[in-house]
A and B are shown apart, each in its own frame.
Chain A
Amino acid sequence: AQSVSQHNHHVILSEAASLELGCNYSYGGTVNLFWYVQYPGQHLQLLLKYFSGDPLVKGIKGFEAEFIKSKFSFNLRKPSVQWSDTAEYFCAVTLNSGNTPLVFGKGTRLSVIA
């Protein structure tokens, strides 16, 4: 069965620091990869997704993620975080056919302090 590992449970950064959140998945075949974000008091929403092509994917609010197939990873990055990026971030994966449910990681809580 697919599984998704997010290594960091809670990350605390100062404003303007760079961010990298780790995500690894266990499936050996072709996958579709997602990052979702949940801001305090808000619904879970899609940040970015990767299906195929350029392994560097750009999403909303200056976030990007890089798919490294050899490492089974899809790490989320942002060069300079803002206080408003404080949220919980979830990585998710489904198989390339798109016919299997999303499998989410446990999430990483990001706290950005002034």
Chain B
Amino acid sequence: GAGVSQTPSNKVTEKGKYVELRCDPISGHTALYWYRQSLGQGPEFLIYFQGTGAADDSGLPNDRFFAVRPEGSVSTLKIQRTERGDSAVYLCASSNGTFYTDTQYFGPGTRLTVL
């Protein structure tokens, strides 16, 4: 079956603009995760959804970052007033479970560049 997909694959924006990044998880996966991977770093956890609700948003760096998953499938990560430091690859993962230990299947990521 299809894996996790993310759109767009690349996004270039200007400082101060608003961006939305989309994640389509594997069909039937109840858990969805967002990570941010900066250059030379490993993925850094942002937020975890179980169904429609954000079960853990402790990784969101500040209130400019927000994510939704209104129907329990597709999720959108929203970044307001982008800053150059937001430039990174944003990864989405999904799993068929309720624990962080369940195997997470990653998407290809969206590379965000803030000029």
Contact = CB atoms under 8 A, between A and B. Distances in A.
Contact of A51 (B44, B91, B101): B101
Interface string A14-47: 0000000000000000001000000000011110
Interface stretch (B13-21, B68-76, B104-112): B104-112
Interface residues of A, number: 21
Contacts of A44: 43, 91, 93, 106
Nearest to B45: A101
Interface residues of B, number: 26
Interface string A44-80: 1110010100000000000000000000000000000
B8 interface: no
Nearest to B3: A43
B40 A94 contact: no
Interface in B38-86: 40-45, 48, 56, 58-59
Contact of B106 (A45, A51, A103): A45
Given A43-B4, A90-B43, A106-B40, A101 B101 contact: no
Nearest to A107: B42
A102 B109 CA distance: 17
Interface of A: 4, 32, 43-46, 49, 51, 90, 92, 94, 98-107
A74 to B, nearest CB: 14
Given A32-B101, A98-B101, 8 more contacts: A44-B93, A98-B99, A98-B102, A99-B99, A101-B59, A101-B100, A102-B43, A106-B40
B103 interface: yes
A61 B107 CA distance: 21
